[in-house]
Structure 1
Amino acid sequence: MTKHEKRVRIYGAGGHSHVIKDVLRQNGYVITDTFDDKPEGVHHASKHVNMGARAHLNDFPHQGDPVIIAVGINSDRAEIARILKCSYETAIHQSAIISESSSIGEGTVVFAGAIVQPNTVVGKHVIVNTGASIDHDNVIGDYAHISPKAALCGHVEVGEGSHIGVGAVVIPLVKIGKWCTIGAGTIVLNDVPNYATVVGNPGKIIKILNPKKREKL
Structure 2
Amino acid sequence: MALLSTWWFLAGWLVLTIPSLVILIRDLRSKNAHLMSLMKVVWALTVVYSGPVGLAVYWLTGRKEISDDGIWRRGARSVAHCYSGCGMGEIIGVTVAVGVIAAPTWGVALITFTLAFTFGILLTVGPMMQEGTKFRPALKDALIAETPSIVVMEAVAIGSDILISGDATIGEPLFWSALIVSLSFGLLAAYPVNVMLIRFGIKEGMMDPRMTGD
| TM > 0.5 | no
Normalised TM-score (structure 2): 0.24
The structure in which a higher percent of residues are strand is 1
Normalised TM-score (structure 1): 0.24
